[in-house]
Amino acid sequence: MVVKRETRVAVRMLDWLHTRGQSLAGCGQGDIDQWLAEGTSYHYSARNFVLWCVRRGHASDITIPIYVKENLRSEFVEADERWTLARRLLHDDALDTVDRVAGLLLLLYAQPLARIATLTLDQLTQRVTDHGVQVRLGSKPLGLPPPLGALLLDLVDRRHGRAVVGRTMDLTWLLPGGAPGRPISARQLMRRLSGWASKHG
């Protein structure tokens, strides 16, 4: 039963990529993240297929995280609730910027907390032409909506100023933790966002 389900969802993923003019070999983590974000927990059943393809060299630099029902993402299952929370995170200046950025990356882009926690400044760029902010979550930069981009720049400002955005020599964590030289932990982010969601959900 499990094998059949994984096979069906793998075929669906390949069909989805095909409709976008993309192949599994050529797709990046951004494509996979968007596919996960557009679907339900069912899409996570393609994890073993993706792992097998990467091991065999049929794909590279992509992964599907383990889906755990009792994690923070399960609190954001309903689309209406997800968008309500996202709007609050985007526009409520009273909330902590760290919580706003982490929550929005989770809600809008289905990013695992472990990946959000280890974002570095060199993964952010600001285009010269229109000052749009991009973040590299996979192999390709992802353009962010202006409110979220502004929040990310605000976090950068708190560290070294916007001049360092895009400098590969500076690997400062976007979300530093309590220990010197270490990022915030995924568990700590989970606690922060779980507490926020319970108050505002």
Q: Could you report the per-residue pLDDT of 61-77, keeping only the tens digit for each?
A: 888 877 654 445 544 44
Task: Judge whether residue 170 has pLDDT over 80.
Answer: no
| pLDDT reported for residue 55 | 86
Task: Judge whether residue 171 has pLDDT over 60.
Answer: no
Judge contact between 9 and 43, C-beta under 8 A.
yes
Instruction: Output the six-digit token pair for 180.
Output: 């010197």
| pLDDT reported for residue 167 | 43
Length reported for the chain: 201
| Residue linked to tokens 């909506």 | 145
Order the strands of the 124-126 sheet from edge to edge.
124-126, 133-136, 141-143
Higher pLDDT, 4 or 190: 190
| pLDDT reported for residue 159 | 64
Judge contact between 117 and 111, C-beta under 8 A.
no
What is the number of alpha carbons within 13 Å of residue 17 lying toward its C-beta? Answer: 20
